[in-house]
Copies of this chain bind each other. A is one copy, B any other.
């Protein structure tokens, strides 16, 4: 059993080009012994965005705070606290902060990806 608060976990900057104003924390990962999937906490500053990209693994996202959009091709969906987003393997996607406060969300992915 591991019990902690998300704020205790150190943050890092993703190195992928196209990310702007993004920080992430790995809340539960291989270090904690997770065998199948990992839990990550993202913070996107106002005006920031994750890369518009695709990869062969899924995202399961739960939005905690802020005002954002998720983009896919020409489509954009508004997201806010309590929004749930499933991005299937191979789907292009991007998360954007369109508000004045940090956009914060959990993003789970399968392990070793």
Say yes or no: A83-B4 contact (C-beta < 8 A), given A27-B62, A60-B28, A108-B60.
Answer: yes
Query: Majority SS of interface residues in chain A?
Result: strand
Whether A70 contacts B36 by the Cβ 8 Å rule is: no
A19 interface residue (CB < 8 Å to B): no
Query: Among A10-18, A44-52, A86-94, which stretch is in contact with chain B?
Result: A86-94
Residue picked from A1, A64, A87, A88, most chain B C-beta under 10 Å: A1
Between-chain CB contacts (< 8 Å), 12 pairs: A1-B85, A1-B93, A3-B84, A3-B85, A4-B84, A5-B82, A7-B82, A34-B58, A34-B60, A34-B86, A36-B37, A62-B106
